[in-house]
Amino acid sequence: MSLSRRLTVLAAALIGCTLPAAAPAHAVVGGTEAKAADPPWLAAVGTPLFFPRASGQFCGGALIAPDRVLTAAHCVQLAQLLPQALTVTFDRSDLTSPDGTTVAVTDVHLHPDFHTDTVDGVDVFHHDLAILTLAHPQNRATVPIAAPQGDTATVLGWGGIAAGDLLNTVLREATVPIVSDTDCAAAYPGAFDATDMVCAGSTTADTGEFDSGGPLLIDGKLVGITSWARGTALAGYPTVYARIPASF
């Protein structure tokens, strides 16, 4: 996902050289179209200043409390300097439409242990979690959080539908296999840390550009946040998701 990292830097530059350090990190590959209102807690995170994408979207997020959205820290690291430049949009299945509800952000809180490494040419994000405080509480369902237990999971996002695709604007979902910690550590030696990461994905179902910060779900519960990987749907390199602690 080196391309996604470059696009993230572009997003930051377009926000007045201050913001979203971030993270177009993924696109749902091998999935089907979905309706944003079906998971009412699903959010598109963006800024009006990010002109390359419809709705200014560059990451995903999940409503975990009426005024709190969980996303990836690398998506919004620079936005701490100007959180008001960020927006969160609900119920918009196609980013080119005016549908849904858009809410301003008033605060960005990163996980205190969030940090970045580069291992074998791949950007690695540790404790890649951030909470966005919304200007107005939302009267909608929130998503429950759980530990990642199971063989398969669901991913959602507005990202590309193949490696290098930057044009998709329609929400998609896919079922992805959970990859064991042992296999993920073998795929990313010296980078994968099972204490704060979990892996999922295959060559036929994965996330991609502009899916960072989006949900990894098992039985309708949020078990991870799309974080980083080498490529998209690349054999031997599953996507890494940030595990969600009880609090931070």
Q: Out of 4, 55, 93, 212, pick the active-site residue.
A: 212
| Among 172, 231, 221, 165, residue whose Cα is nearest residue 201 | 231
pLDDT over 90 for what percent of the chain?
77
Q: Would you say residue 108 has pLDDT above 50?
A: yes
Instruction: Using pLDDT thresholds of 50, 70 and 90, give the confidence band for residue 19.
Output: very low
Task: Determine the average pLDDT of the residues in 157-175.
Answer: 82
Residue 247 known to be catalytic? no
Q: Out of 4, 55, 123, 126, pick the active-site residue.
A: 123
Model pLDDT for residues 55-103, shown as the tens digit of each residue: 999 999 999 999 999 999 999 999 999 999 999 999 999 999 999 999 9
Residue 109 known to be catalytic? no
pLDDT over 70 for what percent of the chain?
88
pTM above 0.85, yes or no: yes
Task: Determine the average pLDDT of the residues in 195-215.
Answer: 94
Domains of the chain: 2-24+40-134 (2.40.10.10), 152-242 (2.40.10.10)
Q: Which residues of 119-140 are buried (b: 16+ CB within 10 A; e: fewer)?
A: eeebbbbbbbbbbbbbeeebee
Q: Out of 4, 26, 55, 74, pick the active-site residue.
A: 74
Q: Would you say residue 224 has pLDDT above 60?
A: yes
